Amino acid sequence: MTSEPVVPGDLRDLLERPLFGHLATVRPDGTPQVNPMWFRWDGERLYFTHTTARRKYRNLQANPNVAMSLVDPENPYRYLELRGAVERIEPDPTGAFYVQLAERYGRPMDAPPPDAPDRVIIVVRPTRATRH
């Protein structure tokens, strides 16, 4: 028995293009926090770069549930929202993943970011999708 993919096939291009994902986390008081984020999609999981010094990281430590939305810049009525939870957080003390994402988003770097020692890779497996 094959399970149906979470991401509808006709919207996968939104994940493959270097669009900004609006990543929502839950603050300790239960209110949402949303920021535009660089990401990479491997066909099953979303990967984000972040640092351990910021609020979003602390939010994820307390509550791993997230949502991310993407809007097609050529048709703002075409969008995708993915919901899921953080599967794992991996250390990235050289900032290598940040450098990869910078390249993907057209901002190549000659050196790692200054906050590289605090960098982590946040890995999310989407479990639900909403579309239009």
Distance of CA 105 to the CA centre of its chain: 13
Greatest CA separation found in the chain?
48
Domain positions in the chain: 9-131
4 confidence band (pLDDT: 50, 70, 90): low
**Distance between CA 98 and CA 49 in Å, rounded?**
6
Structure tokens at 8: 């509808």
Domain made up of 9-131: CATH architecture: Roll (2.30)
pLDDT mean across residues, the chain: 94
In 3D, which of 121, 98, 94, 117 has the Cα closest to residue 109? Answer: 98
Q: Which helix (H) or strand (E) holds 98?
A: helix 96-104
What does the pLDDT look like over 63-109, one tens digit per residue? 999 999 999 999 999 999 999 999 999 999 999 999 999 999 999 99
pTM, whole model, 2 decimals?
0.93
At 115 the three-state DSSP class reads coil
Judge contact between 119 and 49, C-beta under 8 A: yes
**Distance between CA 18 and CA 2 in Å, rounded?**
29
